[in-house]
Structures are given as structure tokens and as C-alpha cells.
Amino acid sequence: MRQYDRVFVVVERELRTLVRSRMAVAVALAFFAVVVGLGGASMGSPGGYVSLTYDLLLPVELLVPVVAFAYVYRSVRGDDERGELDVIRTYDVSRLDYVLGVFVGRSLFLVVVVLVSLGVAGVVASLGAESTVTFFATHTAGDTPLVYARFVLFATAYALVAAAVALSVSAATRTKREALAASIAALVVLAVGLDLSLVTLVSMDVVNADGIAVFNGLSPASAFRGLVLEVAIRPALADSPSVATAAPAVSAIGLLGWLVAGLGSATLAVWPDTSQ
Amino acid sequence: MSDSEDSDAPAALTATDASFGYPGVTILDAASVELQAGDLTALVGPNGSGKTTVLELFAGLRALDAGTVTRPPASDRAVAYLPQRPGFRSGFDAREALGFYADLVDADVDPDALLARVGLGEFADRRVEALSGGMVRLLGIAQALVGDPPVVALDEPTSGLDPDLADHIFDVAEDIVADDRVVLLTSHDLAAIEARADRVLLLSGGEFVLDGAPDSVLDATGAETLRQAFSVAVTGESRAAVGQPAPTGGDD
């Protein structure tokens, strides 16, 4: 059996777990209702997709990590508390196989929830548009579906990063209660803590105001926000702001770094390496 | 230390000069033992002596501080392990729960056949959360047979079960020993061990203070029952003589 076969076996188990979980379905429906509801509120807005993207930016920034943690924080911890982690270790399954399987399986469900919710919100918002938008964005002006498509793409990447961090929390904690507490703490840190730290550093002149755009990329939430503002929305604005809110390259690298760090720490923490 | 799965090793599990401890507690102190295939070996000892830890060390779930554990060669799995309180994900039926593990090995495994072997054939479609505690243990034992491992480690498979179900689990354990496997189980059910086990290891103070067939252990201690032999070996006096109950539980 090849390594990826074992990964897929774990992926299938995780997917089945979430599909059959009433909690997972309830969380998906709640997220869908909020996002599509906001999309409905934007129906017919003269701002079109730019307006919709602005409307959804903050809710998605806050809710996507909550949904990701809800789907992931009990994954490894539950297997450990039931003794299944010890049982799985007696098979030819490496720590990386298991962590990748859990991540891909849980993330697939999460990504579908995010894509469907944002997709339906986009369709709903466009239903009231006075004229069909048929042109692509350029650097001069224009509201196009491409603005929203980029937003959805970045939201998906942000969801994957949140899932990776949630997985590392699940792997590093020892009880479900500990995992829940650590997840809440991680959510607060990711959603507001890192941004507040940056503001504090700026106010103390530790970080130059000109460097905010770069430092924004180091926090997942602000990296996501920066990518949306700079790469999705800015090209569609007729009058672009003179000051960049984020450095897109740093933001992309920042998100990738959090993803790798989350999965890497989860792999190291999921069980001790006893092969010597 | 090193754990190894030497392809030239005999069909036995061998611990050599094995040492392990927690801060202030010695679980194994340069202990050596060889467990033979075809033997149902029972690991007994007082609460807190470290039986579960020894099982985990032999299964490769923990690394020794010093010494070696050598396991028989295997194509899929060298060791199967049943934890003391096994569990399976809710929302899955027994067949699906077992099917997940079956998919992790190269061999074609028929979950229904394994369920039938442990007496759960008619419960294959039942959700795991609807299985009784004894049925979950049996499902765990069925899982332990996936991949035909040469060593099966069962941690207190009968604790908290009614006598009939406990007897059934010992029947299953004897059945899988007949496949020429090393089967090592921990238990406080000394009467059942005396009647069923081929070999008894009594762990106390980091050493296997008694080791042999139940009859040999009785001869060596001068006790009439394994229950008395346990007390003599652990406390130096026979508690059975004053009618004290045998230790129960599994908090180690």
C-alpha cells in the first residue's frame, strides 16, 4: 500500500465523520445563513461585487476561523481519548500520513461549506443587479465577478490556514476540554490579538508606520484582509488609495507560513516518535 | 535503547534488559522476558505497577529508557493493541469502524468475517454508540486481528464485564492464540487467568517477580490459588486467607 492510499483512507473517515455529524451540518447551515443573508442584503447594491466583498470581508474574517476550529479541534483529541490514536499507531501509518489525512478530510468539508456559502451569496447579490456585468477588471476601473472570485479564493486559503492551526491545537492538547480552551484562545489571538499587538508596536514606535503593510502579512487575519483589499478590490477601484494597506507577497507568504507551521507542529505533536 | 522488528527474529516477542520509569516510579528495571507464539500470557500485578505501560512498551507505543524489545517479523502489522477502554467514532456502524482499519493494511480483510469470528456477526450494521461495553471490547479484538499481527496485546479486555461475556472474551483470546500468535493480556481476573492462561507474569517493583504456567506459579509460591499466590508475591501474605476480595479495576 502506498503512502497516499493510507492518507486517503484517513481522508474518507474524516469526511464521513463530518457529513454524519449534526453539529457539523448545523455549523454549516449557520454560516451559510449569515453569509447568504449578507449577500441578500447587498442585492441590487450599486456597488456590485466590490460592495458585496466589503460587506462580507469582516464576517468572513471572523467566522471562517470559528467554523474551521469547530470542525477540526476535536479531530485528533477525540481519537486520542477513545484510544484510537494508539490503535492507529500499530498500523503502518506515519504521523504525516495521519495528520495529512485528517487535514485534507476536514478541510474538504470546510472548503465546500465556504465555497457554497460564498457562491450562493454572490449569486443572490447579483440577482438584483440592474445590468449584467460582462467585462473583466482592469487596473483602471470596473466591478466584475473577478473581484468576488478573488475574494472567495483568498477566503478558501484563509480557511485552510485556520484549519491547519486548529489541527495543531487538537494535536498539542491532551483533553477535549483543554483543546476547547486552547481553540478559543487561538481564535482570539488570530482574530484580534495579533492585530492589536501590531497596533501596540506601532504606537510604541517599535514598528514604523510605513512598515505596517508588511507586518500585516504576519497575522493570518490581516494577511487575508490585506490580500482582499490589495489584490481583489484595489484593481477594481477607479481611484486607488495612495497608501497600500498590505504587501500582497508578504501576506501570501505569511498565510503559507501559518499553513506549514500548523501542519508541521501538528505532525510533531500528534504522537511521540518511538522509532529509534 | 532500541525497538526493532528484525526480520530474522523468531516468532516471539523479546524484551532484553528493558528499563522504563516515570519520575519517582520504576516500571521496568532491566527486565528481560521472552513471550512465545501460541501462548496466552497474562500480565498481572497490583494497581499502579505499570501493566498498561508495559503493554505499551511491548507494543511500541512508548520508547524504553534502556534495553530492547524485539518483535516478530510481519508483513502488515507487528503488533495489535487493544486499549483498556476502547472506543470508536460515533456515527459509524461496526462494519464501517472495522473497515477503516481493514483499509490500512495491504491484505484483503473481510470485516464481516472478523466480526463473525468474535461473535459480532449479527451486529455488523449496528452503530458503535449502540453497542454495549462488551461488544465494543469484542469489536476492539476484531480490530486487533486486522492484518494478521503476530503479537496481540489486550489491556484488561474483561474489566467491568459480566462473567459470561468475560468468559467469551477469554474464549476469543484462546482462539486467536491458536493461530500461533503471541497474546499478552492484562487482567485482575485471577480465577480466569488460572484456568485459561498458559503463562503468568506478575509485575511488581519493576520486575517480573513470578513467571510461569499457573501450576508452576502455585508450586513456586506454595499457594493453592493464583489469587493467594498474587498476595504472597506482592505483599508477602495471603489476603485470600482472610477473605479479602481480589483487587479490581485498572487504574494503571
pLDDT in tens, B19-63: 999 998 999 999 999 999 999 999 999 998 999 999 999 999 999
Question: Looking at residue A138, what is its pLDDT?
Answer: 44
Concatenated DSSP letters for A57-116?
A: HHHHHHHHHHHHHHHHTTHHHHHHHTTHHHHHHTSS--HHHHHHHHHHHHHHHHHHHHHH
Residue B67: per-residue pLDDT? 96
Partnered with residue A219 across adjacent β-strands are none
What pTM, to 2 d.p., does this model score?
0.88
In chain A, residues 113-132 whose CB comes closer than 8 Å to chain B? none
Do A17 and B89 lie within an 8 Å CB cutoff?
A: yes
CB B170 within 8 A of CB B193: no
Helix axes A95-127, A145-172, angle to 10 degrees: 150
pLDDT at residue number A72: 95
For chain A, say whether B79 makes contact (Cβ under 8 Å): yes
pLDDT in tens, chain A (276 residues): 677 899 999 999 999 999 999 999 999 999 999 999 988 887 766 667 888 898 899 999 999 999 999 999 999 999 999 999 999 999 999 999 999 999 999 999 999 999 999 999 998 888 766 554 544 444 444 567 888 999 999 999 999 999 999 999 999 998 888 888 988 888 888 877 888 887 788 777 777 777 777 778 888 999 999 999 988 888 777 666 666 677 889 999 999 999 999 999 999 999 998 875
Q: Is B105 on the interface with A (CB under 8 A)?
A: yes
Distance to chain B for A258, nearest Cα, Å: 29
Tens of pLDDT, residue by residue over B203-226, are 998 999 999 999 999 998 888 999
Residues in chain B closer than 8 A to A13 (CB atoms): 89, 100
pLDDT in tens, chain B (252 residues): 444 444 444 468 999 999 999 998 999 999 999 999 999 999 999 998 999 999 999 999 999 999 999 999 888 899 999 999 999 999 999 999 999 999 999 999 999 999 999 999 999 999 999 999 999 999 999 999 999 999 999 999 998 889 999 999 999 999 999 988 999 999 999 999 999 999 999 999 899 999 999 999 999 888 899 999 988 888 765 544 444 444 444 444
Phi then psi for residue B27, to 5 deg, are -95, -50
Class of residue A210 by CB neighbours under 10 A (exposed 0-12, middle 13-18, buried 19+): exposed
Looking at residue A46, its pLDDT comes to 65
Which pLDDT belongs to residue B2? 44
Q: Is A238 on the interface with B (CB under 8 A)?
A: no
Which of B62, B222, B9, B52 minimizes the C-alpha distance to B154? B52
Identify the pLDDT of residue A190: 81
Question: Residue B81: which of A9, A79, A90 has the nearest Cβ?
Answer: A90
pLDDT (0 to 100) of residue A243: 66
Q: Does A2 touch chain B (CB under 8 A)?
A: no
List the grid coordinates of A51: 460592495
B77 touches chain A (CB under 8 A): yes
**Residues in chain A closer than 8 A to B61 (CB atoms):** 86, 89-90, 274
Identify the pLDDT of residue A9: 97
Closest among A174, A220, A168, A227 to A198, alpha carbons compared: A220
Q: What pLDDT is stored for residue A167 in this prediction?
A: 96
Shortest distance between the Cα of A81 and any Cα of chain B, in A, equals 8
Q: Are strands B182-186 and B25-36 parallel, antiparallel or unpaired?
A: unpaired
Nearest by CB to A13, which of B82, B100, B147? B100
Q: What chain A residue is nearest to B83 in terms of C-alpha separation?
A: A83
Residues from chain B that touch A81, judged by Cβ atoms under 8 A, are: 87
Please give, rounded to a whole number of angstroms, the shortest distance from the CA of A37 to a CA of chain B. 31
Contacts of residue A95, defined as CB under 8 A and 6 or more positions apart, other chains included, come to A267, A268, A270, A271, A273
d(CA B218, CA A161): 62
Is the CB of B1 inside 8 Å of chain A's CB atoms?
yes
Here the cell at position A3 is 503512502
